[in-house]
Amino acid sequence: MDNQCLVLLSKFSVAARKFVGSVNSAKMIRDNHYASEIFKQIDEVGDEELILLSLDLQMMLGLLKPSEVEKETSSEKYMFGARG
């Protein structure tokens, strides 16, 4: 695991703590089921910034493919403006 992933994981853990309680960073790396449950809880919370952080982390951990991230974010791309 590279340094960038560890930094992202620590940012995510601190931010997620407000919404889902304590997040075990080591377990997030080792246990895909645990990580998936945490990410599911974050999705249900609906905090946009945290969801984007979650998507980046899922991609780095190999739980999400880049094409799946595009599907998640592209549907929200033009929510508040005219399409041009």
For residues 46 and 29, what is the distance between their CA atoms, to the nearest angstrom? 23
Q: How far is CA 11 from CA 14, 17, 54, 75, 84, in A?
A: 5, 10, 10, 25, 35
3-38 per-position pLDDT tens digit: 899 999 999 999 999 999 999 999 999 999 999 999
pTM, rounded to two decimals:
0.73
Percent of the chain with pLDDT over 70: 76
For residues 13 and 28, what is the distance between their CA atoms, to the nearest angstrom? 10
